Amino acid sequence: MTPAKDASNLNSAGFRCISCGWKIGRLFVQYSPGNIRLMKCDNCKAVADPYIECEFMIILIDLILHKSKAYRHLLYNMLNLENNNFKAIMLKSFLLHFILDACRVTFSVRCKDTSDSMRDGSELVWTTLKVIVDVLFGNFVFASVLWIWVSILLKLNHNLLRFKEVFFVVLVSSYFKLFLLAMMVWDFPYSVLYIVDIFVLSSNAVALRVLTRLKMSSCIAISFSAHITKFFAYHWLLSLLKCFR
């Protein structure tokens, strides 16, 4: 069997060549401080990870441009899934994701409601309820749809460890939600929320393609289904709660 057809290598965690996704033992050899030699991939014979010598801003630009090589560098060679601190990184990603979702709902309410209504006690309670529904119920629906799609397409048979990796890359690839923090300080039009959502959706699709090696159309379908189901489930539950308001 040739290296390019070794599926076990492609699906295992560890450092990866950013060109072909092949697993490698190490990315570089350091001879002295500041003197390193980048390793080449045994499969494609290219330098395994040239991003090691790049500034983070260059990596960020390539991530924004949705380059698969940049996502492989981020997910495998920076946030190594075999890292002993993987659980801690995932927990922090969860917390940050929830905080940013709460910021999104708060910004949405601030754009739609007047300042007088926001100072009203009942409106403050209603805003808090919206945040709770989006952060807890919305993300539960999102994770459930993601679980169903990934289980079907990858035939994981409820492989919890593999699903954690999938959900982790979705959280990490939602980094553009950090822009929501700026929206809480400066005034932006409401339409910017949809721009952020579209960017997050497309970024999730690229990250899923890098991890699962599925077709791009399948990854877009997974990402779109999870996001749109979360959107409708959130508004459906809010409409029910309004009946008891």
According to DSSP, the β-strands at 28-32 and 35-38 are: antiparallel
pLDDT digits (tens, 9 = 90+) for 7-20: 334 344 478 899 98
pLDDT confidence of residue 158: 55
Greater confidence, 12 or 169? 169
- At residue 1 the predicted structure's pLDDT band, cuts being 50, 70 and 90, is very low
Hey, how many other C-beta atoms are within 10 angstroms of the C-beta on 199? 17
| Average pLDDT, integer, range 151-177 | 79
Domain edges within the chain: 3-78, 86-243
Residue 32: what pLDDT? 79
Percent of the chain with pLDDT over 90: 24
Q: What is the pLDDT of residue 13?
A: 47
When pLDDT is cut at 50, 70 and 90, the band that residue 205 belongs to is very high
* Alpha-carbon separation of residue 234 from 69, 105, 133, 149, 229 (angstroms): 34, 11, 7, 20, 8
Nearest residue to 129 (alpha-carbon basis) of 100, 96, 95, 106: 106
- Between residues 6 and 66, which one has the greater pLDDT? 66
Provide the pLDDT for residue 9: 41
Average pLDDT over residues 179-186: 78
What pTM, to 2 d.p., does this model score? 0.82
Candidates 71, 98, 111; CA nearest to 194 is 111
Return left, alpha or beta for 217; rule: phi > 0 is left, psi -120 to 50 is alpha, else beta.
Answer: alpha
Element housing 32 (H / E): strand 28-32
pLDDT for residue 37 is more than 60:
yes
**pLDDT attached to residue 58:** 93
Each residue's pLDDT tens digit, 111-138: 666 444 445 566 677 778 888 888 889 8
Q: What angle do CA 201, 51, 44 make, to 5 degrees?
A: 95
* pLDDT score at 4: 38
Residue 156: pLDDT over 80: no
Question: Residue 41 carries which DSSP code?
Answer: P
Q: H or E stretch including 35?
A: strand 35-38
Q: Please give the pLDDT value at position 159.
A: 58
So what's the pLDDT on residue 193? Answer: 86
For the chain, give the mean pLDDT: 81
Number of Cβ within 10 Å of residue 20's Cβ equals 16
Query: What per-residue confidence (pLDDT) applies to 88?
Result: 79
Neighbours of 229 (CB within 10 A): 17
- Concatenating the DSSP letter of every residue in 107-160 gives HHHHHHS-HHHHHSHHHHHHHHHHHHIIIIIIHHHHHHHHHHHHHHHHT-SS-H
Which stretch of DSSP H or E encloses residue 206?
Answer: helix 191-212
Give the pLDDT score at 181.
81
- In this predicted structure, what is the pLDDT of residue 10? 38
